[in-house]
């Protein structure tokens, strides 16, 4: 169970990722500087953390996507390795073209920190297998650019192939514009690639796993990953 957490200048949720994977889950978790050419030997999961890599200058995630370590993250993904990108990590994976789409400014044009409810749309992924389809869990969001956008044809493709992993919903699991905090198309909170090994999501499951800090809605993702590791 070896997890690599790439750290870019301006990453600031790296600590949360290390805490969730290392301290809470007890996995071997290794921070990796962006200028490294290689992930640590035997890396099973790459957790691309949130933050403001390169100050969000140019475009969120655009510069980090070109960092040396990202070439090896792509190689890892191409070989079927697991990659989880959260918040800025999701933006980086989109910019690196490991995932489709783009994250635009929130509809309100403001940064939003709030707890949201997510509905599990795919329960057959390494990231979701410990949850049930339709299950609702609660995790925080903290972003200014989480408005997931894709051109209509690609969006239809994404939906058709089951590329949506999580959708914003009400506490009861209802889908609708009222429950989407940032204007994301189809209420999309997280997506997965065609192969099912790269997942990006705006909400922060890693901030909702330590019982001392409150509800642990994010644990489902980590229990799923634990199950995925044990299969390796």
Partner 1 sequence: MSVAHEPAVTEPLALELGLSKDEWQVLLRLLDGRLPTYPELGVFSAMWSEHCSYKSSRIHLKNLPTEGPRVIQGPGENAGVVDIGDGWAVAFKMESHNHPSFIEPYQGAATGVGGILRDVFTMGARPLANLNSLRFGEIDAPRMKGLVKGVAAGIAGYGNCMGIPMLGGDCAFDASYNGNILVNAFTLGVLRSDKIFKGFASGIGNKMMYIGSKTGRDGIHGASMASAEFGEGSEEKRPTVQVGDPFTEKLLLEACLEIFQTDWVIGIQDMGAAGLTSSSFEMASRAGTGLEIRLDQVPMREEGMTPFELMLSESQERMLLVARPGCEEKIIAVLHKWGLDACVVGEVTDSGRFIGSWHGEPVINLPIQPLVDAAPKYDRPRQRPGYLDAVAAAPLPADLKPAEVERTLRQLLQAPTVASKRWIFEQYDGTVRSNTLLGMGRGDAGIIRVKDEAGQDTGKAVAMSSDCNSRFCYLDPFWGAAHAVAEACRNLACVGAEPIGLTDCLNYGNPEKPENMWTFEQGCLGIRQACLALDVPIVSGNVSLYNDTEGQSIFPTPMIAAVGLIEDCSGPVVLGAPDATALSKVGNRLCGASFRAAHDGIFLLGETRDELGGSEYLKLRTGKVQGACPELRLDEELRLQACVREGIRLGLIRSAHDTSEGGLVVAALESAFGANDGEGMGCQLMLTRGALRLDSLLFGETAGRIVVSVSAEAESSLATLCATHRVPFAKIGATGGARFTLAVDGQPLLDAEAAELKGLHAGALEAALG
CA distance 88 to 61: 6
204 is catalytic: yes
Binding range to partner 1, per CB under 8 A, among 46-54, 91-99, 158-166, 190-198: 46-54
Cross-strand bridge partners of residue 33: 7
Task: Provide the 10 A C-beta neighbour count for residue 232.
Answer: 8
The residue written with tokens 């969730």 in the block is 20
169 is catalytic: no
CA angle (218 as vertex; 216, 222 as ends), nearest 5: 115
CA distance 27 to 171: 31
Q: How far is the CB of 209 from partner 1 (least distance, A)?
A: 9
CA angle (94 as vertex; 89, 97 as ends), nearest 5: 125
- Of the residues 1, 2, 10, 31, which one makes contact with partner 1 according to CB under 8 A: 10
87 is catalytic: yes
Residues 163-222 contacting partner 1, CB under 8 A: 204, 206-207, 210-214
Asked if 31 interacts with partner 1 (CB under 8 A), we say: no
**Closer CB to partner 1, 56 or 121, in the complex:** 56
The residues carrying an active-site annotation are 87, 204, 206
Which residues are near partner 1 by CB under 8 A? 9-10, 12-13, 15-16, 18-20, 22-23, 51-52, 54-57, 110-115, 140, 142, 144, 204, 206-207, 210-214
């Amino acid at each position: 169970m070896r997890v690599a957490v790439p750290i870019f200048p301006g990453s600031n949720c790296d600590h949360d990722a290390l805490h969730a994977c290392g301290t809470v889950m007890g996995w071997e978790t290794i921070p990796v500087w962006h200028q490294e050419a290689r992930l640590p030997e035997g890396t099973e999961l790459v957790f691309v953390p949130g933050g403001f890599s390169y100050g969000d200058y140019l475009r969120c995630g655009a510069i980090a996507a070109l960092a040396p370590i990202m070439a090896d993250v792509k190689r890892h993904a191409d070989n079927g390795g697991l990659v989880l990108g959260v918040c800025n990590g999701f933006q980086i994976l989109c910019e690196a073209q490991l995932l489709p789409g783009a994250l635009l400014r929130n509809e309100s044009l403001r940064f939003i920190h709030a707890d949201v409810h997510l509905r599990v749309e795919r329960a057959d992924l390494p990231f979701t297998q410990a949850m049930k389809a339709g299950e609702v869990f609660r995790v925080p969001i903290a972003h200014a650019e989480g408005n997931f956008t894709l051109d209509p044809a690609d969006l239809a493709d994404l939906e058709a192939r089951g590329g949506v992993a999580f959708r914003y919903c009400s506490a009861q699991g209802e889908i609708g514009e009222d429950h989407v905090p940032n204007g994301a198309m189809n209420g999309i909170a997280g997506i997965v690639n065609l192969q099912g090994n790269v997942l990006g999501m705006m909400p922060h499951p890693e901030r909702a796993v330590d019982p001392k800090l409150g509800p642990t809605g994010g644990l489902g993702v980590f229990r799923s990953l634990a199950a995925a590791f044990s299969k390796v």
